[in-house]
């Protein structure tokens, strides 16, 4: 089973080399790594060229945002399984092998797991548990988004739903994962696959309002298509949105693993870190 990893990047030279190294150490023969740069001017191309012999392919040209870059990357990918890791974020050692093993199950087309939040120095801020009992319902009715960097899916599912919507600038991850979840049986894997980096200027922080607006547009579109009465769907939305708020409350108090905070990420591999002490 061959895995294709895509990294979209734009002016992320500070973190790009670390991201690329975290992917390259995970690759097995036949796997692919594609780097899609948006026309960086900060030295990113020098970093890419230092690794280009180990890349399946790369390009650097202006684009319409990260979804457009991902669309280009996935169009060039030929692996059986797809995923993406944003410049700045990291895959943990063993992540691709763990995903490959989980996706041996013929019924598993989309898997999702856990990750770490890390700071600009690659030290752990907290642990983020991605578990929900019914991803489809929590996404559709509650507006929840799985941890993007800890998601892997089969190429056939991606093609079946029509791929990523390159016109979206903020909530393309929610849109893609929602459409794929509604067309499959998502499987939660209790492992930390990756690390999401918090850093100044990142779009997921500066564009919170725009993300929510796009996400709501996508959710309303799929709600209109979903079976059931308007009243029935409204009740489900109220229940699941309450469940998502409760999940955030529980997450902040039970799942963050404060005992791991401050440790360098290099100490961790793709493994289970919940409940505390699990390995």
Domain for residue 274, yes or no?
no
If pLDDT is split at 50, 70 and 90, which confidence band does 110 have? very high
Contact 265, 123 (CB under 8 A): yes
Which residue range(s) make up the domain with 26? 3-267
Cis amide bond preceding 13, omega within 30: no
Coil, strand, or helix at residue 115? strand
The reply to whether 109 falls in a domain is yes
pLDDT at 35 over 70: yes
Residues 48 and 60 sit within 8 Å (Cβ to Cβ): yes
Tally of domains within the chain: 1
149 in a structural domain = yes
CATH number of the domain that 251 lies in? 3.90.550.10
In a domain, 279, yes or no: no
CB 261 within 8 A of CB 278: no
pLDDT band at residue 116 under the 50/70/90 scheme: very high
Phi/psi for 4 (5° steps) reads -110, 125
* Domain membership flag for residue 272: no
Confidence of residue 278 (pLDDT cuts 50, 70, 90): low
Rounded-to-10 torsion of CA 54, 149, 7, 33: 30
Q: What is the pLDDT of residues 198-222, one digit of tens each?
A: 977 665 565 899 999 999 999 999 9
Asked, for residue 278, whether it belongs to a domain, the answer is no
**CA-to-CA distance for 84 and 277, rounded, in angstroms?**
29
pLDDT at 200: 73
For residue 142, give every residue at least 6 positions away whose Cβ sits within 8 Å of its Cβ, in sequence order, or none.
Answer: 237, 240, 241, 243, 244
- Under the banding of pLDDT at 50, 70 and 90, the label for residue 144 is very high
In a domain, 275, yes or no: no
Q: Mean of the pLDDT values across residues 264-272? A: 97
In a domain, 253, yes or no: yes
């Amino acid at each position: 089973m061959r895995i294709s990893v895509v990294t979209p990047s734009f002016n992320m030279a500070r973190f790009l080399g670390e991201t690329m190294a975290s992917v390259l150490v995970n690759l097995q023969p036949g796997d692919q790594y594609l780097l899609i740069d948006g026309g960086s001017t900060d030295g990113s191309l020098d970093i890419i060229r230092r690794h280009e012999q180990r890349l399946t392919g790369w390009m650097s040209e202006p684009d319409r945002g990260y979804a457009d870059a991902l669309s280009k990357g996935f169009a060039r990918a030929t692996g059986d399984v797809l995923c993406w890791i944003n410049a700045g974020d990291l895959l943990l050692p063993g992540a691709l092998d763990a995903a490959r093993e989980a996706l041996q199950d013929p019924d598993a087309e989309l898997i999702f797991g856990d990750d770490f939040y890390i700071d600009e120095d690659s030290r752990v801020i907290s642990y983020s548990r991605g578990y929900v009992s019914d991803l489809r319902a929590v996404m559709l009715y509650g507006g929840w988004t799985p941890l993007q960097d800890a998601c892997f899916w089969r190429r056939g599912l991606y093609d079946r739903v029509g791929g990523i919507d390159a016109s979206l600038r903020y909530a393309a991850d929610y849109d893609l994962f929602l459409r794929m979840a509604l067309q499959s049986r998502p499987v939660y894997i209790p492992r930390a696959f990756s690390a999401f980096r918090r850093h100044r200027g990142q779009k997921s922080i500066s564009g919170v309002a725009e993300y929510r607006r796009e996400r709501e547009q996508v959710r309303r579109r799929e709600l209109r298509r979903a079976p059931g009465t308007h009243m029935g769907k409204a009740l489900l939305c109220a229940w699941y949105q309450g469940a998502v708020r409760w999940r955030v409350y529980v997450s902040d108090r039970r799942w963050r693993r404060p005992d791991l905070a401050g440790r360098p990420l290099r100490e961790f591999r793709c493994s289970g870190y919940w409940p505390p002490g699990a390995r």
